[in-house]
């Protein structure tokens, strides 16, 4: 995942959701693949990343450089 898309995901995760969506744990992998491949519209990414459990899981599993990046950027 390139750095530009990583920045976009971080910004999108802090935006107010259009709808409150809870992602079921059985959907985590498939939803993460859609986000990683940029196959979801931004509005849906915002909604999905506002599910705190999914967001934490996604950043921990798929964005290994997130901690390093977050420390270098004031959020």
> For residues 4 and 24, what is the distance between their CA atoms, to the nearest angstrom?
28
Indicate yes or no: pTM above 0.85: no
Cα 43 from Cα 60, distance rounded (Å): 22
- DSSP H helices in 1-75: 3-13, 28-36, 42-49, 52-62, 66-72
State the Cα–Cα distance between residues 61 and 45, nearest whole angstrom.
Answer: 17
- Looking at per-residue pLDDT, the higher value among 60 and 5 belongs to 60
In this prediction, residue 68 has a pLDDT band, given cuts at 50, 70 and 90, of low
Summarised one tens digit per residue, pLDDT across range 30-49 is 998 888 888 888 888 888 88
Distance between CA atoms of residues 59 and 55, nearest Å: 6
Distances (CA, A) of 61 to 20, 21, 29, 54: 22, 20, 10, 10
What confidence score (pLDDT) does residue 65 get?
Answer: 61
Number of domains in the chain: 1
More confident residue, 64 or 36: 36
pLDDT for 8: 79
User: Domain span at residue 19?
Assistant: 3-72
Tell me: pLDDT of 70 over 80.
no
């Amino acid at each position: 995942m390139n750095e530009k898309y990583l920045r976009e995901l971080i910004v999108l995760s802090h935006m107010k959701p259009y709808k409150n969506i809870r992602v079921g744990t059985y959907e985590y992998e498939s939803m993460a693949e859609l986000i990683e491949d940029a196959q979801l519209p931004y509005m849906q990414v915002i909604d999905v990343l506002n599910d705190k459990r999914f967001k934490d899981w996604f950043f921990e599993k798929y964005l290994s450089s997130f901690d390093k990046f977050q420390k270098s950027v004031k959020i």
